Amino acid sequence: MAAVPVACTQDRAPAPPTLAESRVRAAWLFLAPLVVLMVLVAGWPLCRTLWFSLTDADLKDLGAARFVGLDNYTGEFGVLRDPDWWRAVGNTLLFAGVSVAIETLLGLVVALVLDADFPGRSVVRAAVLVPWAIPTVVSAKMWAWMLNDQFGVINHVLMTTHLISQPLAWVADPSLALGSVIAVDVWKATPFMALLILAALQMLPTDCYEAARVDGIHPVTVFVRVTLPLIRPALMVAVIFRALDALRVFDLVYVLTSNSRDTMSMSIYARQQLVDFQQVGLGSAAATVLFGTVALCTALAITLGRVRLEGAAG
Amino acid sequence: MAEIRLRNVNKRFGGVQVINDVSLDIADGEFCVFVGPSGCGKSTLLRMVAGLEEITTGELDIGGKRVTRLPPSARGVAMVFQSYALYPHMTVYDNMAFGLQLARTGKPDIDARVRRAADILALGPLLQRLPKELSGGQRQRVAIGRAIVRSPGVFLFDEPLSNLDAALRVQTRIEIAKLHASLRASMIYVTHDQVEAMTLADRIVLLNAGEAMRRDGSIAQVGRPLDLYHRPANLFVAGFIGSPGMNVLPATLAGATPERAELVLRDGTRASARVDATTLPADATVTLGIRPEHVGLAPADGTSALAGRASHVEQLGEASYLYLETPARDGFLTVRQGGDTGVAPGDAVAVTLPEAHCHVFGPDGRAVPRHLTAGPTGRPGSAGVH
Ligand SMILES: Nc1ncnc2c1ncn2[C@@H]1O[C@H](COP(=O)(O)OP(=O)(O)O)[C@@H](O)[C@H]1O
Ligand SMILES: [Mg+2]
């Protein structure tokens, strides 16, 4: 090939790949294993769920499923016409909104504290991570015991300090249950938030803060006008992560309150239809709507985040 | 009025002494440059004046007020950082206006101050840009503008030019000098570059590092730029000020009168210097110092000149540097000659050491007092060639 005159190569042989083309090719090559894996472990179940949601499949005999169109969604007994489903949607949104908001605020406070220079800082940083490191089922069980109305340590402490006069049913009382679930989630996820925010804080230029000190700008002003705008991109990422997690919450709620309607999340609803009531079709429809909701929220968050980032840069 | 007084100022980080016993008076409106090798504590000393570092022991007064324990904002200083320290998400305008918020300045006043600073620094067209949309030189001007708007009594600069390229450095240096002339504020300027120190300073403070700092204190010498050039207090100062550095040759004191010292170099060459070395014992081991620009090329018949061989020649156009191998010292003897000398590597070269330009340092490295006939700035009289 090398000996062929240039004019001929242009006419006859296909042009050799440009650098950009061969890089794209290499990129696909490296991505291929992951793509195959994703199709197998995520794509296939997703498609199957989608298919089941359009049938009247029953858990006892999946083979006998008949195509029923959108009956599972909008039919007389469809998910979207079930008040229990809408209650689960409300619970989930409330849970996600409140818990992520509290976790963000608390995480910010914890991160600011951990960012300060004090002796034993690295030990404290590691210790703070413990709630996040414990598997959710384990910590949820632990909290279930602590919140137990008769034997729980929480009621015991509140009683002996006379803050309450009789034991409270933290997870059984409809007015308390969702609050308890949120509290446990805050306990568990705040360290995660704090660590993401701490990483952002440590990237901040220290000399700006010295300049502000020399100029005598009040620390609160510096926080609001310098720190917050600079960590906002990282904060947004952390909030999106947590919000997506919270929207599909299952284990915490299931361990603490089982199938209780007061706290039932969208995931719990789907499991109940699918396993307890053996209605694979209906359960799959619920799971599909949940998937759509999470996908929509992700798209929204990313678009909004980008718009706001560009707004800050412009 | 913003004169600055440091009294016996020390700084230790943990147990490590970084600044040792600095006492210094900087007059109102003076341009004072802290210079010294990297790591000698220049930034630390400046940051102690700013209030960003605690003063371990000692006292600091600014404008007649004791500020040793006061926070930076109460000291009436403004600082320009090496890395500019601009707020990355704020426009040039906001960067300059942000520091004025505390001062209970009204909005119209803030605007007027920012516009005036922008005028001085030619930042007008850039006011709505973000720092990342500026060149290094422009960022530096914004950083200086941020200091100007506060009209402080004292400006503190920490190596403000070190991130700029050579041409821009010269230009910004001149701008800073003009700024000082127009603002008449006190300025402390930190640099490791002796050229910046020589060109900008009313007074230079040269700082010791390491062992010398622990033994003699942090200050090696304080004085006007030409004082340090003509009358370096010791070998360290002599080597630091001037570029290329002063040549030093080991020598023995052969005789001393109040006007003149006679020396014998290592290879037996005799030299003399216009210094008063009568306090040194006879036969003392001394060091003769002479700057490259003062070494003369000997005429062809120069009998008592120092013999050498050109090892290397650098042509700069307006000057040439000859690096000579000579038995009188290890390493090279540097000679600066105007224009092109025509000397090629390998040529035998004989040089003279004019006595009016020779420095003598005693066994402890301290300078022996010189006689400068025409004052520190004049060209001393005819070269007393040997
Ligand atoms: N925060 C600090 N903690 C410990 N040592 C420090 C600190 N800041 C500076 N030093 C030390 O003090 C010395 C002087 O530093 P610095 O003032 O930055 O030097 P310069 O500006 O002259 O290059 C250096 O040896 C440095 O390692
Ligand atoms: Mg420094």
* pLDDT tens sequence across B217-233: 999 999 999 999 999 99
Q: How far is CA B93 from CA A209, B118, B143, in A?
A: 18, 9, 11
What is the structure's pLDDT at A313? Answer: 44
| Closest CA–CA distance from residue A231 to any residue of chain B (Å) | 11
- Ligand with minimal distance to B14 CA: 1
Q: From atom 14 of ligand 1, which residue's Cα is the shortest distance away?
A: B41
Q: What is the mean pLDDT of residues A268-291?
A: 92
- Ligand with minimal distance to B209 CA: 1
Chain B from 50 to 69: CB within 8 A of any A CB = 50-52
What is the structure's pLDDT at A314? Answer: 37
Compute, in angstroms, the gap from residue B371 CA to the centroid of ligand 1.
39
Looking at the fold, whether B194 and B316 belong to one and the same domain comes out as no
Looking at the fold, whether B105 and B218 belong to one and the same domain comes out as yes
Nearest CA to B204 out of B237, B168, B158 is that of B237
Mean pLDDT value across chain A: 88
Question: For residue A45, is the peptide bond before it cis, meaning its omega torsion is within 30 degrees of 0?
Answer: no
| Interchain proximity B99–A211, CB inside 8 Å | yes
Q: What is the mean pLDDT of residues A264-269?
A: 93
What is the structure's pLDDT at A14? Answer: 73
Which residues does chain A have within 8 Å of residue B81's beta carbon, measured at their own beta carbons? 207, 210-211
| Interchain proximity A213–B71, CB inside 8 Å | yes
What is the structure's pLDDT at A8? Answer: 46
Domain encompassing residue B311? 244-361
Looking at the fold, whether B65 and B137 belong to one and the same domain comes out as yes
Domain count, chain B: 2
Is B252 inside a domain boundary? yes
* pLDDT tens sequence across A58-73: 888 888 888 888 889 9
| Closest CA–CA distance from residue B87 to any residue of chain A (Å) | 6
User: By CA distance, what is A212's nearest residue in B?
Assistant: B99
Looking at the fold, whether B212 and B254 belong to one and the same domain comes out as no
Instruction: Pick the residue of A215, A217, A235 with the most B CBs within 10 A to test the interface with B by mutation.
Output: A215
Q: How far is CA A122 from CA A115, A130, A133, A199, in A?
A: 10, 13, 16, 13
Backbone dihedral angles phi then psi of residue B100, each to the nearest 5 degrees: -90, -5
Looking at the fold, whether B269 and B130 belong to one and the same domain comes out as no
What is the structure's pLDDT at A128? Answer: 87
Looking at the fold, whether B127 and B168 belong to one and the same domain comes out as yes
Q: What is the mean pLDDT of each run of 10 residues along chain B (386 residues)?
A: 91 93 94 94 95 94 93 92 92 91 74 89 91 91 91 93 88 91 93 93 94 92 95 94 93 92 92 92 93 86 76 92 93 91 89 92 93 55 39
Looking at the fold, whether B92 and B152 belong to one and the same domain comes out as yes
Is B374 inside a domain boundary? no
Which residue among B79, B87, B146 places its CB closest to the CB of A226? B87
Which residues does chain B have within 8 Å of residue A308's beta carbon, measured at their own beta carbons? none
| Interchain proximity B85–A218, CB inside 8 Å | no
* pLDDT tens sequence across B316-348: 989 999 999 999 999 899 999 988 888 899 999
| Closest CA–CA distance from residue B290 to any residue of chain A (Å) | 43
Q: Which of B12, B42, B44 to mutate to test the pocket of ligand 1 (most atoms within 8 A of CB)?
A: B44
Q: From atom 21 of ligand 1, which residue's Cα is the shortest distance away?
A: B43
Q: What is the CATH number of the domain that holds B343?
A: 2.40.50.140
| Interchain proximity B102–A217, CB inside 8 Å | yes
**Tell me, what's the ipTM?**
0.84
Looking at the fold, whether B201 and B57 belong to one and the same domain comes out as yes
Nearest CA to A46 out of A302, A232, A295 is that of A295
What CATH number is given for A35-313 in this structure? Answer: 1.10.3720.10
Is B383 inside a domain boundary? no
Choosing from B237, B264, B285, the residue where a domain stops is B237
Q: Let me know the angle formed at the C-alpha of B133 by B130 and B139, rounded to the nearest 5 degrees.
A: 80
- Chain centroid, CA B19 distance in Å: 18
Nearest CA to A194 out of A113, A302, A99 is that of A113
Residue owning tokens 């006939």: B373
